[in-house]
Amino acid sequence: MSDRLARWNALARSEAIEEILPCCGSKAWADQMVARRPIDSEAALLAVCDEVWRNLAQLDWIEAFLSHSRIGELRAPAGAEGLSASWSGEEQRRVTTSSEEIKRALAEGNRAYEKRFNRIFIVCATGKSAPDILEILRRRLRNDDRAELLEAAEEQRQIAHIRLKKWLGT
């Protein structure tokens, strides 16, 4: 067990929730993760993450989505300061250094997505180029509501895994 995980397992409930919340952004997810302590390894942490995530209500998923900045924007949403905002900047690094044309197309795509689905576009941006993300955004705009919610939830699950691994290494 890592020192970080051992320390987190021993924290008071409220402190443990606050510490893990930047990894996902859903208070219900963080609460249920804490309720599953002690967790003894990275593999167990990721497995618990998946189980908890799959069993959350759709509103909890949407709460997690709201903790992200829009693709192409450096500004973090209210309440997503600190570690979450820092990770978001790292995850979107390749997008923020893209051409103005791509940035404009992403901004237009974000607006179209929000109008269509009434929430922000979520994609696991780590390792993806801005043109790749734009292509994903355009493809997902063709999804129906249910398919898109499930795809966004899967992207958020992947983001949580990346952030949990970073959190353990911090």
Give the domains, in start order, of the chain with CATH numbers.
Answer: 3-169 (1.10.3330.10)
pLDDT at 26: 97
pLDDT at 95: 63
Determine the length of the chain. Answer: 170
pLDDT at 119: 95
161 catalytic, yes or no?
Answer: no
One of 8, 32, 53, 68 is an active-site residue; which one? 68
pLDDT at 87: 55
Burial of 127 (0-12, 13-18, 19+ CB in 10 A): exposed
pLDDT at 71: 83
For residues 36 and 70, the model is more confident at 36
